[in-house]
Amino acid sequence: MQKLITKMKRVPLLLLIIFGTISFAMANEEFPGGTGSTSDFSVQAFSHPMSGTRGELRRDFNVGNSFFNNVWTASPSSTTLRDGLGPIYNAVSCSSCHFKDGRGRGLPDNEGPVDVSLLFRLRIKTLGSGRDVIPHPVYGGQFQPQSIMGVKAEGTPVVKYERITLSYNDGLFAEILKPIYEFINLNFGPLGENTIVSPRVAPQMIGLGLVEAIDEADILVNEDPLDADGDGISGRANHVYSVVENKAVLGRFGWKAGKPSLLEQNASAFNGDIGITSPLFPYEDCTDAQADCKANTTVEDIAMDRLNNVTTYSQLLAVPVRRDFTKIEVNKGRQVFYSISCTKCHTPSYTTSANAPLDILKNQKIYPYSDFLLHDMGDELADDKEEFYNEEEATTREWRTPPLWGSGLVHAVNGHTRYLHDGRARSLEEAILWHGGEGQKAKDEFMNLSKTDRDNLIEFLNSL
Ligand code: HEC
Ligand code: HEC
Ligand SMILES: [Ca+2]
Ligand SMILES: [Ca+2]
Ligand SMILES: [Ca+2]
């Protein structure tokens, strides 16, 4: 009896400690992008600099912002600072695809041409060289549907859909649409049987400097390439060639973690997507088969200092504060997310490096919900069912776990609720239903939940 009483006396203290710790952890989580998080949830939610962006940094951010939104024109023109578009390109500005610093919708509701925000990487399976691939010899590494006057564009990507019906354990149904891509109006002949087409939609631009500021070791610690712990999940890091460092380094950005840094990601977007050459990527994206493209190349369309301004801009776009943070359903949904396999890849949190390049990026407790590693996500999401290395060390079947912060604000910013690497999921629910391969177990667990638990989980995702 005495024992029981002392035990009971300890309970409140214990509860205080437990709940004290929880509420402290939760309070952090309300600010997923650390102290610089923004509390604007409007159409501008993804467009704010982290609070603390002042002085020279703020000026650099503003210049970067203007070059991110700038509509490039063909040269020669009256504004040499802002010309050099093409000769072939996907879009005339960064913000045509990352509209309002948000994400592209990628796919139309009905069959037809795809949205400008969806681009296609092209690779050729080379016979007899194992699982390696090369850029398409005629169309190059990326399909450019647009061109300046007097130059042939490459063609038009179109989509049609195959309907797939899934049934939940409780008898309810869901229908998902599998995109099937086709290329029409091809100006340089057919793509050929051995072409691997890899569709990618423009993701939102928030929190990227914080992602860059995560210590490499904190990402690599979650790798389990041989699935040593036997849970069916084998996250791997991509190691990609850096033109700046002239060696292979950890890949962090893009749907296959194919780019090592924001500087290189941005410079390659200027080059491949808009036809803007820079000191980092001095050559236009034309192949030998594209004579008119080659005849219209331009040199150093953007200078290094402007490129650096755009990089500062992309480092500092703030992550929004969580909404409905104390709502019961959201917290129940969070419990579901943590109790089924979601956090095995969507790693909740990190503390950024003390050595980050900018003070406001240092030592920040952040909640991106991603391991930033590659996972085989199954046949249905794969670029090609056969496994080829189509982005450095990432295969046709692998995708980088995307951060989930900002997921619930896509509709407010971009007016759609499209998710996954090509925007095929029309809702967060559909995004989960596409998980296969290493994500199959998580999907099955989701499909076995009660309707209430599923709804709560979606509410939690919408609060991110
Ligand atoms: C044609 C549409 C399009 C245009 C134009 C475009 N992007 Fe992107 N952006 C994408 C796509 C698609 C990806 C994903 C690329 C991948 O997975 O390889 C991406 C990825 C990124 C990322 C990495 C985000 C992340 O979460 O990893 C950054 C940063 C970025 N773009 C910056 C820019 C900048 C700066 C410009 C202008 C120079 C630009 N983009 C122009 C479509 C576009
Ligand atoms: C095996 C690792 C893994 C597990 C487990 C996993 N995910 Fe994912 N998740 C991914 C990857 C990789 C993608 C991107 C796939 C693609 O775009 O093709 C993704 C995409 C998503 C997206 C869309 C994000 C975006 O920006 O488009 C949501 C939402 C999501 N996951 C939620 C969940 C939930 C909820 C669970 C648990 C039921 C879960 N995931 C379990 C790896 C995983
Ligand atoms: Ca150019
Ligand atoms: Ca091309
Ligand atoms: Ca494992």
* Amino acid identity at 145: P
**Bridge-based pairing state of the strands 112-113 and 156-167:** antiparallel
What pLDDT score was predicted for residue 301?
97
Task: Retrieve residue 19's tokens.
Answer: 């709940």
- Closest to 261 (Cα-Cα) out of 275, 247, 273: 247
Does the CB atom of residue 258 touch ligand 1 within 6 A? yes
What pLDDT score was predicted for residue 126?
82
Closest-lying ligand 1 atom to the alpha carbon of residue 201 = 12
What pLDDT score was predicted for residue 8?
44
Q: Whose CA is nearest to atom 36 of ligand 1?
A: 94
Q: Which residues line ligand 2 (CB under 6 A)?
A: 233, 337, 340-342, 344-346, 375, 377, 381, 399, 401-402, 404, 407, 419-421, 428, 431-432, 435, 438-439, 442, 446, 461
Closest-lying ligand 2 atom to the alpha carbon of residue 103 = 26
Classify each residue of 10-42 as buried b or exposed e, where b means 16 or more C-beta atoms within 10 Å of its C-beta.
eeeeeeeeeeeeeeeeeeebebbbbebbbeeee
Ligand 5 center–CA 441 separation, angstroms: 12
| pLDDT < 70: residue spans in the chain | 1-27, 128-129
Closest-lying ligand 2 atom to the alpha carbon of residue 377 = 12
* Residues 130-176 pLDDT 10s: 788 999 999 999 999 999 999 999 999 999 999 999 999 999 999 99
Q: Whose CA is nearest to atom 41 of ligand 2?
A: 342
Residues with CB under 5 A from ligand 5 (ion): 224, 227, 229, 231, 233
Ligand 1 center–CA 97 separation, angstroms: 8
Global confidence as pTM: 0.94
What is the Cα–Cα distance from 376 to 392, expressed in whole angstroms? 15
Q: Whose CA is nearest to atom 11 of ligand 2?
A: 401
Does the CB atom of residue 277 touch ligand 1 within 6 A? no
What pLDDT score was predicted for residue 31?
98
Q: Whose CA is nearest to atom 18 of ligand 1?
A: 254
Residue 198 phi/psi, 5° resolution? -120, 100
* Residues 364-420 pLDDT 10s: 999 999 999 999 999 999 999 889 999 999 999 999 999 999 999 999 999 999 999
Query: By CB neighbour count within 10 A (0-12 exposed, 13-18 middle, 19+ buried), where does 359 fall?
Result: exposed
Ligand 2 center–CA 420 separation, angstroms: 8
Does the CB atom of residue 374 touch ligand 1 within 6 A? no
Number of the ligand closest to the Cα of 230: 5
What pLDDT score was predicted for residue 18?
47
Does the CB atom of residue 124 touch ligand 1 within 6 A? no
Ligand 4 center–CA 116 separation, angstroms: 15
What pLDDT score was predicted for residue 133?
92
| CB of 215 closer than 8 Å to CB of 362 | no
Ligand 4 center–CA 173 separation, angstroms: 41
What pLDDT score was predicted for residue 373?
98
What is the Cα–Cα distance from 67 to 83, expressed in whole angstroms? 11
What pLDDT score was predicted for residue 2?
44
Ligand 3 center–CA 89 separation, angstroms: 9
